[in-house]
């Protein structure tokens, strides 16, 4: 017998949230509800959901930023289905650029929502154990482990989150603000903790042979420069 899906519903409108949760509960799926972006990030990075249903208009954090944070910090590459009244092409493009896996415009048929959830869950399971490869750098996203030239990197959770964010953006730079949000959400520490985590990540890469792979981009942030595997 196929196990029930585990779904996180991120929706701040009480009536819509109740309607979605009631329908999914009727399918005997397991549902959690978050009415804010902060709670959504906390739940999605603590639990292993099959799908996250994400409203873009939230009271505290923009849904696009929530999507980016979930993609960077979740314990597995959980599929994100965005639910929104924004139906312009540019809005959808921004959603996919932030890591969304699917997009459903309000109002929608709950039966279609369930079909899309099931399809995303199947797709996510097929790719759950796949590794991310950039040159000689390998990230096992689900296990939150990384190697360089087959040498394991002794990364903290923050270190892995930073490396994953840099890998997703490579060869482009990631702003300091985006990296800080990936690590701490909307409540970053007052101290310059980001610089300390970048320093530690550089040391791990240097020790494994990945010297000078993290470049500092003035007035912006950091960029990961991974040489092709044959050039290592």
In a domain, 21, yes or no: yes
The residue ranking higher by pLDDT, 174 or 131, is: 174
In a domain, 189, yes or no: yes
In a domain, 29, yes or no: yes
**C-alpha torsion 35→37→38→40, nearest 10:** 70
Confidence category of residue 123, pLDDT binned at 50, 70, 90 = confident
Work out the number of other CB atoms within 10 angstroms of the CB of residue 191. 8
User: How confident is the prediction for the chain on average, in pLDDT?
Assistant: 86
- For residue 64, give its domain range: 6-126
Contact 104, 11 (CB under 8 A): no
Q: How much is the average pLDDT of 137-157?
A: 87
Pair (13, 121) in one structural domain: yes
Of 126, 143, 162, the residue that ends a domain is 126
What are the structure tokens assigned to 93, written together?
A: 């493009």
What's the pTM value of the predicted model, to 2 decimals? 0.60
> How many CA atoms are closer than 13 Å to the CA of 214, on its beta-carbon side?
22
Total domain count, the chain: 2
Pair (73, 164) in one structural domain: no
Of 104, 126, 148, the residue that ends a domain is 126
Beta bridge partners of 33: 9
> How many CA atoms are closer than 13 Å to the CA of 187, on its beta-carbon side?
6
Of 95, 126, 157, the residue that ends a domain is 126
């Amino acid at each position: 017998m196929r196990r029930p899906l585990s779904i996180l519903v991120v929706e701040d409108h009480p009536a819509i949230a109740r309607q979605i949760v009631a329908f999914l509960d009727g399918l005997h799926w397991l549902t959690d509800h978050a009415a804010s972006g902060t709670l959504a990030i906390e739940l999605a990075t603590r639990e292993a959901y099959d799908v996250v249903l994400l409203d873009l208009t939230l009271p505290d954090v923009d849904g696009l930023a929530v999507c980016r944070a979930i993609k960077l910090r979740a314990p597995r590459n959980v599929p994100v289905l965005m639910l929104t009244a924004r139906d312009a092409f540019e809005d959808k493009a921004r959603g996919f650029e932030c890591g969304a896996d699917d997009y459903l415009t309000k109002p929608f048929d709950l039966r279609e929502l369930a079909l899309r959830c099931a399809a995303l869950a199947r797709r996510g399971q097929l790719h759950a154990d796949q590794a991310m490869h950039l040159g000689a750098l390998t990230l096992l996203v689900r296990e939150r482990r990384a190697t360089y030239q087959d040498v394991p990197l002794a990364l903290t959770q923050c270190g892995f989150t930073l490396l994953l964010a840099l890998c997703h953006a490579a060869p482009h730079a990631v702003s300091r603000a985006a990296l800080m949000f990936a690590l701490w959400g909307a409540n970053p520490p007052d101290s310059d903790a980001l610089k300390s985590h970048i320093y530690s990540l550089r040391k791990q890469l240097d020790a494994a042979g990945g010297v000078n792979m993290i470049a500092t981009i003035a007035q912006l942030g950091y960029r990961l420069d991974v040489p092709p595997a044959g050039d290592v």
